[in-house]
Amino acid sequence: MINVTKSYLPPLEEYVKHLEGIWERVHLTNNGPLVQQLEQDLKQYLGIDNLLYCGNGTIVLQMAIKALGLTKEIITTPFSYCASTNVILWENCTPVFADILPDDYTIDPAKIERLITENTEAILATHVYGNVCRVEEIEAIAQKHRLKVIYDGAHTFGTTYNGQSAFAYGDVSTCSFHATKVFHTVEGGLVTSTDPVILDKIQQLRSFGHRFDDYLDYGINGKNSELHAAMGLCLLPRVSDLIAARKERFGLYDTLLDFSELQRPSLRPTVQYNYAYYPVVFRSEAKLLAAKAALEAEQIYPRRYFYPSLNQLPFLKSTQPCPISEDIALRVLCLPMYPDLEFENIEKTCKIINEL
Ligand SMILES: *Cc1c(COP(=O)(O)O)cnc(C)c1O
């Protein structure tokens, strides 16, 4: 069975070495030495000084909203995973959906500007499929209207833009280290901020809002454990190789697929890409469904991702029309993409799609 992604695991002995240390120290969580080591190594790898390793890629978004003091309207993208809208609702803010650009499916800065009201406090945008948003234009809008900017960078680990990590942009950037992502710690998340005061606040929120006996604010449990950090320490030195392996598979899809019937999102100039996903957009939803069924008949399981367009989530109290996102979400399918995906399975996948 070929799934859309497959988690990468390090050699077991390497992980066991870390476990032996954990068993000796009997320090399992609460900012232990492996968590601290992973944070140091991430700083080095990403070239970012202000970051925290956390429980997952959702809690970091929630803590970002809380730390920035947001309570009203947040302009966000309809083309993302449901977590990026859920966190806005969970924090009792109102999501306002700005439609996406037709070429790379990231939020359209011109549409953001039209939705700004006196209640707008922030922009929460997603770097889609490992590509990067229009960060300069978003920054200019935020400056002009005094808005905060949060980037959901769950897909962009290892991506650089203008030679800098994608996480260097916005007031706060986040990443998910879930088992299916480019770099993972089974479950895990990252938050970075250009503002040390905000990061300090998030650090406080991460551990229930208290420092020893000082109960400063109502926080949450946003921490992660030594066992999770150990996985990260095994995988981080391999990330460049894993991205290179993805790139090779990406290239094979590019060569073998017949693009007369398919569309692919474009990449921003100066992006050094992490090859996180391989989405293809069909001419119609019917064609997508036919391809999906044909692949599944051969035990190949692509995924409708992102789907649905988040402005159409059934539990929203209010929403905005986003025709481009709604259309792309109906027609986009992510094909299998992971570092040890066999070339013959890519050939098989392409053959099935091309024959339809
Ligand atoms: C995976 C993902 C998340 C959620 O991350 P978790 O670590 O699973 O909580 C949020 N946003 C996007 C865009 C994602 O792809």
| Secondary structure of residue 52 in the 3-state scheme | strand
Residues 6+ apart with CB under 8 A from 25: 32, 33
Pocket test for ligand 1, best of 65, 84, 274 (most atoms within 8 A of CB): 84
Ligand 1: atom nearest CA of 181 is 1
pLDDT at position 101, please?
98
pLDDT at position 345, please?
97
Pocket test for ligand 1, best of 54, 63, 81 (most atoms within 8 A of CB): 81
Q: Where are the domains of the chain?
A: 2-98+106-237, 238-355
> How many Å lie between the centroid of ligand 1 and the Cα of residue 129?
12
> How many Å lie between the centroid of ligand 1 and the Cα of residue 17?
29
Residue 163 near residue 169 (C-beta atoms within 8 A): no
> How many Å lie between the centroid of ligand 1 and the Cα of residue 246?
20
- Cα torsion 103, 126, 181, 308: sign: negative
pLDDT at position 50, please?
97
pLDDT at position 141, please?
98
pLDDT at position 186, please?
98
Cis amide prior to 308 (ω within 30 degrees): yes
CA dist., res. 177 & res. 210, Å (int): 25
| Nearest CA owner, ligand 1 atom 15 | 154
Ligand 1: atom nearest CA of 59 is 9
CA dist., res. 144 & res. 123, Å (int): 13
CA dist., res. 354 & res. 188, Å (int): 38
pTM of the model: 0.97
pLDDT at position 78, please?
98
Task: For the domain covering 2-98+106-237, report its CATH number.
Answer: 3.40.640.10
pLDDT at position 169, please?
97
| Nearest CA owner, ligand 1 atom 14 | 154
pLDDT at position 23, please?
98
The DSSP output letter for 263 is B
pLDDT at position 232, please?
98
CA dist., res. 139 & res. 132, Å (int): 13
The DSSP output letter for 101 is P
Angular region, 307: left φ>0, alpha ψ -120 to 50, beta rest: beta
> How many Å lie between the centroid of ligand 1 and the Cα of residue 56?
8
The pair of three-digit structure tokens given for residue 257, joined into one six-digit string: 């697929």
| Nearest CA owner, ligand 1 atom 10 | 83
pLDDT at position 327, please?
98
The phi and psi torsions of 109 (rounded to 5 degrees) equal: -55, -35
CA dist., res. 57 & res. 191, Å (int): 8
> How many Å lie between the centroid of ligand 1 and the Cα of residue 175?
7
CB-based pocket (< 6 A), ligand 1: 56-58, 80-81, 83-84, 126, 152, 154-155, 176, 178, 189
The phi and psi torsions of 309 (rounded to 5 degrees) equal: -60, 130
Residue 74 near residue 194 (C-beta atoms within 8 A): no
pLDDT in tens, the chain (356 residues): 999 999 999 999 999 999 999 999 999 999 999 999 999 999 999 999 999 999 999 999 999 999 999 999 999 999 999 999 999 999 999 999 999 999 999 999 999 999 999 999 999 999 999 999 999 999 999 999 999 999 999 999 999 999 999 999 999 999 999 999 999 999 999 999 999 999 999 999 999 999 889 999 999 999 999 999 999 999 999 999 999 999 999 999 999 999 999 999 999 999 999 999 999 999 999 999 999 999 999 999 999 999 999 999 999 999 999 999 999 999 999 999 999 999 999 999 999 999 99
> How many Å lie between the centroid of ligand 1 and the Cα of residue 77?
14
pLDDT at position 153, please?
98
The pair of three-digit structure tokens given for residue 56, joined into one six-digit string: 């997952």
The string of pLDDT tens digits covering residues 24-47 is 999 999 999 999 999 999 999 999
The pair of three-digit structure tokens given for residue 303, joined into one six-digit string: 């995924």
Cis amide prior to 306 (ω within 30 degrees): yes
pLDDT at position 346, please?
98
> How many Å lie between the centroid of ligand 1 and the Cα of residue 23?
31
Residue 4 near residue 334 (C-beta atoms within 8 A): yes
The phi and psi torsions of 53 (rounded to 5 degrees) equal: -90, 130
CA dist., res. 293 & res. 252, Å (int): 22
**Domain 238-355 CATH assignment equals 3.90.320.10:** no
Burial class (CB in 10 A: 0-12, 13-18, 19+), 267: middle
Ligand 1: atom nearest CA of 155 is 15
Distances in whole angstroms, Cα of residue 301 to Cα of each of 271, 278, 279, 298, 337: 29, 13, 13, 9, 11
Residue 68 near residue 150 (C-beta atoms within 8 A): yes
Ligand 1: atom nearest CA of 176 is 7
